Structure 1
Amino acid sequence: MKKIILFLFLCLFSISFSQTKKYSISGHVLINNSTVKSQIVVTNTNQIFYPNDNGYFNIAKLEVGVYYLNIYAPGYTNISDTIEIKNGNIYNLLYNLKENINELPEVLVGSESMTGGELGIRKLPGSAYFISPLEIQKFNYTDIHSVLKSIPGVNIQEEDGYGLRPNIGLRGSGVSRSSKITLMEDGILMAPAPYCAPSAYYFPTTGRMYAVEVLKGSSQIKYGPFTTGGALNLISTPIPQKLTGKLNINGGSFWGRNIHGYIGNTHGNFGYLVESFNYGSNGFKVLDNGGNTGFNKNDFITKLRYASDKEARIKQSLSIKLGYCQETSNETYVGLTEDDFNLTPYRRYSGSQMDVMTSVQNQLSFTYQIQPKKGINLSTSFYRNNFQRNWYKLSSVKDSLGNKVGISSILADPSSYQRHYELITGNTSVGEESFYVKGNNRTYYAQGVQSTLDIDYTTGELSHDLQFGIRYHQDGMDRFQNQDQFSMNNGIMFQTAHGELGTESNRVRSAYAVATHLQYNLKYKGLDITPGIRYEKIDLKEIDYGKYDPERIGTDASLKSNSIEVFVPGVGFNYSLSPKATIYGGIHKGFAPPGTTEGSLPEESINYEAGTKFFGKHLNLQTVLFYTDYQNLLGNDLAATGGNGSGSFYNGGAARTLGAEFFASIDALKAIGLKCKLRLPITLSYTYTNAEFLSDFESDFESWGDVYTGYEFPYLAKHQLSSRLSAHYKNVEFHINSKYNSTMRAQAGNEDLNSVEHIPAFLIIDCVAKLHVNQNISINLNIQNITNKAYVVALRPAGLRPGLPRIIQLGINANL
């Protein structure tokens, strides 16, 4: 009997033990073999697990059964997996997340992204960079200059400190109002009037962007009209696949603030996104009379999408995007004399107290995408952008003798214009002395339809990708300006005369353009060859009604027109030396459309590049040499560059730029095989650029002047160096970002820089500390220009302009 009882007890114990035995599921979550902050949701138990700093996870105390895992990281495609536990632990699972450019099905991505993300740039036959959502989130920059400063080959001239009106060039193409690059948002041209008035007085709000792409070399001929330097594409927040929300609130120095929020979801076939961004400050400059020098900018975006079922034989989607952006900024073209800058670099003269920019931009686009069969994708977009702005700002001063002098001349030589200088700085005016404040009232539009057909197929060992695109585009600018007069009394300006609209500048400009491109990629084993050609037909017109016809009757109107047809060919190659290393090169024609100015020729050049790419487990590396041979270089008369603001183009004749770019990122501790919870990623980029004119000519373009062979380009640093050191430990991040620019000359020449007007070299350091309270909430402390260095960013349009002083901001970021 005792033996029977003992036997039954052992049976019950073994049954009980088998029922309570627990198992585990473990493995790693990585991105390109690097770690990322992610989460794993076990959907049928409602549990959330967070991999450690090495990407390792261990889900313990699991019973026998089936478990549904959802692996998620912001900015990357979700992975779903089903794991069944039978009689043992599950080890060594590996989930490699892929970047999600816009969270549409993979076959419908191409219309919004130029590169295809970090994985895509490995295959491109040219120099390209993708700034991912995770990179953007590190510093929460709202200034595109700051976002791009780690990218080699990008030339930048700061202006207002906040990046409201960026000046960006690529490989020496010229930085003035970003007018020499192809600027896009979600693959759609976004300059106010890209063909007839490309100067970007409107620039997409950087703070609401999801990712940023920079494309240079032969592969960017698809993205005209500007093909010399390259293209810049800003990717806006995508419609999420599941309920997702975000709220970022940051505030600090000079009452600066930026508030960014959105919410979106996809219900079956329907998706939506609603987003807002507010950005403002009271300004870091100090007006002599104590007025506001800050700004306020509001941006609202709504997106809607209807897509076919994932299982549908023919996949389709229709997307609608609506945007509204309003800005009021108390900005000026008035800088400082050198002596005043050395004493008080953030001073603003009383004469600029009336200066203010008001603008409104709205955008609307419809995008239809269809995949009739696997390997064939068609995307068509209809778009319309409107932009209205009035920059009301001081342009000139008249003394008691009736001498009217522009602000640029006054501040460049205050001793020769002593009385004008005294008036600008607040002296009471007498008699006929006046301040002329110009209302630069302009309206722009851009509209068109573009369509791209992409066909992928294979024949034996050959892979083919054929892309054909066509775009019909119209844009226009209406200048309807006036000029008021003011007097000064004890530092306060009061109006004495009102100028009628249309009596200062009164003209209308328009452009009609048809562009097509054909690009073919042939892949055989490790070799990619990509020839392509672009065709542009552009008709430009301008009607100038003059200053005495505000009713636009047209009695004395003058008409200008210009027509251009051009073929822009290019070819590039990419050869894989190994799964990690490639070499690439290319040659293509550079082009930029001229204006309506009589005798103005298009900008034309031949561009060469050759480089290497290496993408390892802990090290990424890009190097490239480039050479641009200009047959004709174009300059543009802009008030922003100290000119008259006519918008006329100048032929600069032959010129050349050459240089080298270097970019490297390494996870230092992992690279040397040190296993610890601390991570030390390091990023380094360097650009060398040498650019000079190869012909003699006379020019009214202030930054050029009279040019002789061998003169170097102005506003182009020969050496640019950027570095970033990061530290990640558990739930804490710390980043230090530095940017060095060598001395730049302010006007074309070949004299020693110290003997002529120049912008001195500067080194600026930013840092950020971030604490992740949990997976959804983080707190960050951002410090820009940590040393509080007072530095000069430009001597134009009028006088010396300071860069941003030390800015401290504290913020909280919350994700739904």
Structure 2
Amino acid sequence: MSNHLILSGIHKPTKISPLTRAIQLTLTCLATQATFAADSDSHSVNTLQTITLQAEGNWLENANAEKVQKHAGARTIIDRKRLDEVAATSIKDALKQVPGVQVQENNGTGGSDVSLNIGVRGLTSRLSPRSTVLLDGVPLSFAPYGQPQLSLAPVSLGNIESIDVVRGAGSVRFGPQNVGGIINFATRAIPKDFAGNVSLTTEYASGTDQTKLSPSLFMGGTLDNGLGLALLYSGTKGNAYREANNQIDIDDVMLKTAYQITDADAVALNLHHYEGRGEMPEGLTAKQYAENPYQSNQSQSYFAGRRSDVSLRYTHQDERNNFELLTYYIDSFRTSNLGTNQQRQDGTPFKRLDNAPRDYSVFAIEPRFSRAYSIGNTQSEVTIGYRYMDEDSTEFAGRTDYAIDAQPGKFIARTSSKGGTKAHAFYIDNRFDLGNWVITPGVRFESIDTHNNFSAYKSGNLLNTVNPSIQSDEWLPSLAIMYKATDNWNIFANAGVSFGPQQYNQLATTNSKTGIAISTLDGLSPEKSNNYEIGTKYLGNGLNAELTAFYLDFNKELILERDALQNGYWTDLGATSHKGVELGLAYDFAYLADALEGLKIYSNYTFTKAVAEAGNFKDKDLPFYSRHTANVGLGYKVNQWTVNADMFAQSKQHSPGNQESGIYQIIESLDGKYGDIPGYSTFAVRTAYDFGEQYYGLKIAGGIKNVFDKQYFTRSTDSTGGKYVGQPRTFYLQTSFDF
């Protein structure tokens, strides 16, 4: 297999990696073994004829604990039952239950309630750029290739049935940003019989007099003719715990339809619309934070966006074949006003307002075919898939000055761009069941053509335009091996290559001195990482446990830095390594003794060491991740009562500053942007009562997050950087009933 990259019209061949050669050799050996078995053991063939084979196909579909157990890689599912039990009132709360996932508090330009900041295994968490994040298999990002950030995360907890986090052995099926794994949010399924549910969560932040409401509605069913319909709604209204973090207004609605054409054929159509707005408080200086960590002076700053998408899925499944055709169209818009304090040359203070409206559209079509077959004494499944994706991007950046307490004037253009991507992805994998062994080699091929016509302006007048483009062809091999030690215990290992193409804003920027538009193709390149895992899983007898050791070898990682004028620019951080251990555990004590029925424990712990392997910060920790994170929860159910207690903890993080300075800053800077971030732990409790069917399934729950009102913070280094206080003690009340 060849591996090459075309950059600025220059063809650069790359040698075949040892991992690629290993997979080629494995495929050859397996094919030889299968042929030998077929020729030498005809009795085995006759025996296997009585075995019913069925292709699994899309292993993200209807994910559950059993599917996780069979997956030859680190994977965790948080289902709705678990979400209802723990003190989770948001997607961010829910993801803290997953080993290896770190959730950053709202901060900087990702500081609104419509954004999502998650990092996996020490990868950057700001706007979640290095994981493939999906909603029912459809990408959540504005543009998966050119703009993968989740400054607008169009997903709400009330509509979610389960959260499936695949941290290993998924890069062949899904991409392109998959070094941080795959996160799939599965929405609530259409019920067979008519059912409905309405709920409301009310949160009150202690000491701030801020209240936030999160209503949700679900209703649906299947008609006698096989047509299924469901309406889902989830929203958030009100104010968060910071000043100028108010006027949160989020509406997330979905219409799901499904029709069973025949016993083997089905079609599903989903219509989804998300609209959200939230204010963004600024970061505080060290002095401001000491005076009042909840204050804000930037009432003009907000983030808003909308997304409309439609997806159509056709499936055919018979005894041995599984075919799926998924096509979707996404239309997204986002805008933001960002106010910052500035100073003129004579020392006179003034406020500046930046505006950044952006439009994106994505069309994709994804056919996938799987077939189960047997050769000799092997049972196998081969899957072949393809995806074509077409993206379009229009971005604008404007700026205006305005007096304090005055409304802004007209925005003067600073930059504008029109970008696009056409991408083809092909993949094939084959699962071989060889007795107790399951071996799955595979390869993904990405062919990507991206361009960005980027213009720079001065005082609203065009300076110049550059037209960078890049064409990338990448082979991404993978090999996963699982040994079934017992019916309950598996051991697995896998290796794969992950890939992140250059984004639109990584193709061009402005010169910080002259302001003219320049191409960055000569200085930046796509990202690649070799990922390795070895681990074990146990499921049964009340115990669900997973232990995984991981290693990510990033050959070139890109990082967003800031110059002296706080203008952002992308630079090559160089090689980085991410290694660590993840542990997930859940146990039902009823299997130990009848007297302990209703008592459960669930926990996770992750050790991560993510360091730079090159540059001025070589051997130093990467910014904004914790080496240690842990979550421990205890639940007890007796009759209609349920009580839960949860603890979350993370160790310190670093905000070391610009690596080009050569100074790894651990002491807090006056502006609050740089310096170490202390670790912390928080506790939460929740009590619920289920009134039962005679009261229409009425449930009432109350809880407290951050029971001991632990004050903690994070930092931001972007244009609105500084210190950001974490969530204070928060009381919440949840009510729901069925109809």
Question: Normalising by structure 1, what TM-score?
Answer: 0.76
Match of 2:502 in 1: 594
Name the aligned partner's letter for residue 493 of structure 2.
Answer: G
Q: 1:690 aligns with which of 609, 613, 635?
A: 609
C-alpha deviation, 1:815, in angstroms: 1.9
- Which residue of the other structure, out of 389, 398, 422, is the alignment partner of 2:343? 398
| Distance 1:642-1:449 versus aligned 2 partners, 3 A rule | farther
> Residue 133 of structure 2 corresponds to which residue in structure 1?
183
Counterpart code for 1:799: G
1:467 and 1:496 map into 2 onto residues whose CA distance is: 56
Contact 1:114-1:233 within 8 A present in 2 as well: no
Q: What secondary structure does 1:586 align onto?
A: strand
- RMSD across aligned C-alpha pairs, in angstroms? 2.5
1:688/1:140 Cα in 2 relative to 1: closer, same or farther (>3 Å)? closer
Q: Structure 2 vs 1, CA of residues 459 and 323 (structure 1 numbering), >3 Å: closer, same or farther?
A: same
Residue matched to 1:770: 688
Instruction: Give, in whole Å, the separation in 2 of the partners of 1:643 and 1:476.
Output: 28
Identity score, percent: 20
Runs (4 or more) in structure 1 with deviation over 6 Å come to 106-109, 748-752
- Relative to structure 1, the CA distance from residue 443 to residue 589 in structure 2 (aligned partners, 3 Å threshold; closer, same or farther) is same
Structure 1: runs of 5+ lacking an equivalent: 1-105, 402-418, 420-429, 697-706
| Aligned equivalent of 2:726, options 795, 799, 803 | 803
Distance 2:562 2:95 in 1: 24
Question: Is this contact kept in 1: 2:170–2:181, CA < 8 A?
Answer: no
Matched-pair contact (CA < 8 Å) for 2:112–2:278: no
- Does 1:611 find its partner at 2:535? yes
Output aligned runs, 1:36-185, within 5 Å: 111=58, 113=60, 116-139=63-86, 141-159=88-106, 164-185=114-135
Whether 1:342 and 2:250 are equivalent positions in the alignment is no
One of 397, 400, 405 as aligned partner of 1:484: 400
One-letter code of the match for 1:170? V
Structure 2 distance, partners of 1:323, 1:515, is 25
Contact 1:115–1:124 (8 Å) recurs in 2: no
Question: Mean alpha-carbon deviation: is it higher for 528-537 or for 755-764?
Answer: 755-764
Residue number among 517, 521, 540 corresponding to 2:431 in the alignment: 521
Does the alignment pair 1:469 with 2:385?
yes
CA 507–690 in structure 1, closer or farther in 2 if over 3 Å, else same = same
- Contact 1:115–1:213 at 8 Å: present in 2 too? no
Whether the aligned pair in 1 keeps the contact of 2:583 and 2:606 (CA below 8 Å) is yes
Conserved in 2, the CA contact under 8 Å of 1:767 and 1:784? yes
Structure 2 equivalent of residue 791 of structure 1: 712
Task: Answer whether contact 1:227 1:589 (CA < 8 A) is retained.
Answer: no
Q: 2: CA distance between counterparts of 1:729 and 1:234? A: 31
Q: Mean Cα displacement is larger for which, 674-683 or 186-195?
A: 674-683
- The structural deviation recorded for 1:400 is 5.6
- C-alpha deviation, 1:591, in angstroms: 1.4
Q: In the alignment, what sits opposite 2:328?
A: 383
Larger displacement relative to structure 2 (676-685 or 160-169): 160-169
Relative CO higher for 1 or 2, CA cutoff 8 Å, sep ≥ 6? 2
Structure 1 pair 178/736, CA: closer, same or farther in 2 (3 Å)? Answer: same
Q: Name structure 2 gaps, 5 residues minimum.
A: 1-52, 205-209, 508-519, 669-673
Partner secondary structure for residue 170 of structure 2: helix
Offset from partner CA, 1:13-50 (integer Å, 9 cap, x none): xxxxxxxxxxxxxxxxxxxxxxxxxxxxxxxxxxxxxx
Q: Deviations over 1:348-387 (max 9, x none)?
A: 12xx11112221111111111122x311111111111111
- From 160, 163, 184, the counterpart of 1:209: 160
Write out per-residue CA displacement over residues 708-756 of structure 1, whole angstroms, 9 at most, x where no aligned residue.
3212211110011111111111111111121111000112689695687
- Contact kept in structure 1, 2:457 and 2:464, CA below 8 Å: no
Q: Distance in 2 between matches of 1:637 and 1:539?
A: 26
Is 1:255–2:211 an aligned residue pair?
Answer: yes
What's the CA shift for 1:764? 1.5
Give me the whole-angstrom Cα distance separating, in 1, the residues matched to 2:243 and 2:574. 42
The verdict on how the C-alpha distance between 1:677 and 1:610 changes in structure 2, with shifts beyond 3 A counting, is closer
Contact 2:59–2:67 (Cα < 8 Å) also in 1: no
Aligned partners of 1:112, 1:393: CA distance in 2, in Å?
42
TM superposition shift of 1:814: 1.1
1:674 to 590, 593, 596: 593
* Equivalent AA in structure 2 for residue 243 of structure 1: F
**Greater displacement, 746-755 / 192-201:** 746-755
From 244, 255, 278, the counterpart of 2:235:
278
What's the counterpart of residue 411 of structure 2?
499
- Secondary structure at the residue paired with 2:457? coil
Aligned positions of 1:231-630 closer than 5 A:
231-253=182-204, 254-267=210-223, 268-286=225-243, 293-310=246-263, 315-332=264-281, 334-349=282-297, 352-371=298-317, 373-399=318-344, 401=346, 433-488=349-404, 493-495=405-407, 497-500=409-412, 503-547=413-457, 556-595=464-503, 596=507, 597-599=520-522, 600-630=524-554
Deviation digits for residues 412-449 of structure 1, max 9, x if unmatched?
Answer: xxxxxxx6xxxxxxxxxx6xx43110111111222211
**Are the equivalent residues in 2 in contact too, given 1:114–1:215 (CA < 8 A)?**
no
Q: Please give the alpha-carbon distance, in whole angstroms, between the structure 2 residues aligned to 1:234 and 1:263.
A: 19
User: How far off its partner does 1:181 sit?
Assistant: 0.7
Q: CA contact under 8 A between 2:122 and 2:626: conserved in structure 1?
A: no
CA drift at 1:107: 8.2
1:224 and 2:175 aligned: yes
Q: How many residues align?
A: 647
Given residue 485 of structure 1, which amino acid in structure 2 is its aligned partner? D
Cα deviation code 1:650-699 (max 9, x no counterpart): 2222221110111111123x24x321275221112111111111112xxx
Please give the TM-score of this superposition, normalised by the length of structure 2.
Answer: 0.83
SS of residue in 1 equivalent to 2:290: helix
From the superposition, tell whether residues 393 and 784 of structure 1 become closer, same or farther in structure 2 (CA, over 3 Å).
Answer: same
Residue in 2 that maps onto 1:779: 700
